[in-house]
Structure 1
Amino acid sequence: MPEGHTVHRLAAAFDRAFAGQRVRTSSPQGRFSEAAQLDGMVLLGAEAVGKHLFLPFAPAADVDPGAPVVRHVHIHLGLYGSWTFAGDPGFADAHAIGAPRLRMGEREEELDGAADWRRLVPRPTVRLRIAGAHGLADLTGPTACEILDAQGRQAVLDRLGPDPLRPDPGGRERRRFVEAVRRSRTTIGALLMNQKVVAGIGNIYRAELLFRARLDPFVPGRDLTAGMCEEMWEDLVALMAYGARTGRIVTTQPAHRDVEARIVERSRGTRQNGDEDPEVVPREKSFYVYHRQTLPCRLCGTTVRSGDLAARTVFWCPRCQSVRSRRASWTRENPAAPWALEAPARAPAG
């Protein structure tokens, strides 16, 4: 399932591709018949909140996004959802965002010329197609795809906790996170997967954030100090901001990347955008504990463990994360994030 940084990248892609344009909408699959209500309307932009995407449609470009006439398409990609893009040169900096999919047209006849994308026939699985002046986007396999009014959009937002990638003037969202964690008897590993506590975290960020914080995943939230929670929030903001910029989750310090540079791949493997690019940090060097069960910890050599928590597999080092009340010394001594020490030459596509 795409984590929050991916959905924020998706919202940015829609802003660049369609914001302010009058677009055509359809549902080739037929399961989103409401697309006919939006056909010919202006797509005002895009909004990401946690793992949720909102696309506001209005009769004209000068309509206020909060006006009653605006219709918000609410999309949650879930495990299998994906957006696939095609268009003029420079239209989109990624061919797909979400679950792995073929490039649009890979199973169709070869097309020539700048207007090729206009001739692409949608696959029968396309739930929603949005076409603008310079390109189009196809949605397949989402968990949710629905039209909401302003009240319905707000109802979704009210169910979500703070999003580390949204503006937080005055630190209100950080305080919401700290308070939600500290008043709960639930384990911190389960709390981090609860979208009502913090929106946008998935299994990779959970495992890596807890390792960087040296926190046992099974410690109750109420046992943590406010300072520990605040440090965890700040680290999460930095990690996800890097992910939103590059499309990749990288949590390791450069000095640790070549130490036991292995992960335990599943059948489909842990995929990240730009894996084929030799200039990016490869996935086997990107994580401390995620998918590294049975392998030695990069820092202490102890075997990384895995177990079930909050209906997902959690990964942790029983030695590094056995002390509950201290941060990692290398984090204190090296406050610069790993990407600040070794920034990629360019953001990989995807």
Structure 2
Amino acid sequence: MPEGHSVHRIARQFARNFVGRVVSASSPQGRFAEGAAMIDGRAITAVRAVGKQMFLQFEGDLWLRVHLGMYGAWDFAGEIVIDPTIASANGRMGQTNQRGTELPQVLDEGGENSLTSIGAPRRARVHVRMSEQTTGLPGEDEDAEWPPPVVGQVRLRLLTEVTAADLRGPTACELLSADEVAATIAKLGPDPLVDDVTEGEERFTTVVRRKPTPIGLLLMDQSVVSGIGNVYRAELLFRARLNPHTPGRDVPEEVVRGLWRDWVALLSIGVETGQMMTMDDLSPEDYRRAMASRDDRHWVYHRAGLPCRVCGTEIVVEEVATRKLYWCPSCQR
């Protein structure tokens, strides 16, 4: 499932390429035909990302809510202006590790940070013709067909004169009023990139410390904290050396606050690089390897049966609330 960093990157892409522009909207798949007709010909006036949800505002104070869920993704094509404050799709805009050292530019082989398809990792399905403001990608072709042909099941296509965005496989794609958007956001836990960080820490700490629910479930509860998914959950718990089955109310306050602060840091790194980098203090060579391959990027996630990178104990995986939970039974007692 795309986690919070991906949704914030998508929102920034829309801010640079769609906000302030009139769009043509269609539903090639047909499942959002009525909604597409309502926003067709309107300008996008704002975009918001909160946790795993994105909200696009159209003229007339009409909002589109998109939740990518397990399999959703946005595919971008055409002239794409890359945000210079974050790493580009192929990692060429420079990346910084947690120590602040400038590190080699790396292309992720898995596509997690792909600009052309942000969301559920996949190979890009559409051609990208980059504008001169961006870093070019392999395969540029000024004579490519425009607009690009529809490939596969596209729930919604948003099209300006020069840029296309195709939405595939979302869990939610619906139109809301401004009041409905406010009500939806009010149900969500704090997001470090949206809410005041200090206030967010207090909200998060207060809620966790009064719950008997295991901390491993609380971190995935979007009403407790926004944006954390399976990968960040496993990594945050390991970095805190915290047993995922510990009831929230039994987790020491300083540890709960540490979880929030670590999430603030990891989310910023994820938005900057486009990848869920959770390992610290890597050498340039190790960093290059980690940025290029997810197998070298995490402490425990997706490492069931492999030795813990710290103590050598076999990493275990459990099924918890239909999701896989990875942890080290020795480091996280």
TM-score range, shorter chain: 0.7 to 0.9
Q: Which runs of 5+ in 1 are unaligned?
A: 59-68, 262-276, 323-350
**What displacement does 1:88 show?**
2.7
Query: Structure 2: how far apart are the matches of 1:191 and 1:85?
Result: 34
Say if 2:216 is the partner of 1:216. Answer: no
Matched residue SS, 2:55: strand
Name 2:274's counterpart in structure 1.
247
Name 1:159's counterpart in structure 2.
187
Query: Structure 1: how far apart are the matches of 2:155 and 2:56?
Result: 15
**What displacement does 1:300 show?**
1.1
**What displacement does 1:257 show?**
10
Identity %: 45
Name 1:126's counterpart in structure 2.
154
Amino acid of the residue matched to residue 116 of structure 2?
H
Distance 1:100 1:250, change over 3 A: closer
Matched residue SS, 1:234: helix
Q: 1:300 aligns with which of 294, 311, 316?
A: 311
Matched residue SS, 1:35: helix
Query: Structure 2: how far apart are the matches of 1:252 and 1:279?
Result: 9
Matched residue SS, 2:259: helix
Query: Structure 2: how far apart are the matches of 1:57 and 1:231?
Result: 39
Amino acid of the residue matched to residue 30 of structure 2?
G
- How do 1:100-179 residues align onto structure 2 when only pairs under 5 Å count? 100-105=121-126, 114=142, 116-123=144-151, 125-168=153-196, 171-179=198-206
Q: Which runs of 5+ in 2 are unaligned?
A: 84-88, 90-114, 128-138
Amino acid of the residue matched to residue 56 of structure 2?
L
**What displacement does 1:296 show?**
1.1
Per-residue CA deviation, residues 19-46 of structure 1 (Å, 9 max, x unaligned), is 1111111111111121111111111132
Query: Structure 2: how far apart are the matches of 1:201 and 1:283?
Result: 18
**TM-score (ref. length: structure 1):** 0.77
In 1, are the aligned partners of 2:30 and 2:155 still within 8 Å (CA)?
yes
Of the two structures, which has the highest relative contact order with CA contacts closer than 8 Å and spacing of 6 or more?
2
In 1, are the aligned partners of 2:313 and 2:329 still within 8 Å (CA)?
yes
**What displacement does 1:290 show?**
0.7
* Larger CA Rg, structure 1 vs 2: 1
Distance 1:80 1:187, change over 3 A: same
Query: Structure 2: how far apart are the matches of 1:20 and 1:255?
Result: 41
Amino acid of the residue matched to residue 5 of structure 2?
H
Amino acid of the residue matched to residue 78 of structure 1?
G
**TM-score (ref. length: structure 2):** 0.81
Q: 1:205 aligns with which of 194, 211, 232?
A: 232
Name 2:73's counterpart in structure 1.
82
Name 2:99's counterpart in structure 1.
none
Matched residue SS, 1:184: coil
Name 1:98's counterpart in structure 2.
119
Amino acid of the residue matched to residue 196 of structure 2?
D
Q: 1:289 aligns with which of 267, 292, 300?
A: 300
Query: Structure 2: how far apart are the matches of 1:298 and 1:113?
Result: 44
**What displacement does 1:91 show?**
6.8
Distance 1:20 1:217, change over 3 A: same
Matched residue SS, 2:146: helix
Aligned length: 291
Distance 1:212 1:279, change over 3 A: closer
Q: 2:254 aligns with which of 227, 237, 242?
A: 227
Greater mean deviation of Cα atoms: 232-241 or 305-314? 305-314
Say if 2:13 is the partner of 1:13. Answer: yes
Distance 1:28 1:154, change over 3 A: same
Distance 1:138 1:316, change over 3 A: same
Q: 1:72 aligns with which of 63, 66, 77?
A: 63
Query: Structure 2: how far apart are the matches of 1:21 and 1:255?
Result: 42
Q: RMSD of the alignment, in Å?
A: 2.5
Per-residue CA deviation, residues 116-145 of structure 1 (Å, 9 max, x unaligned), is 352422235111111113211111111110
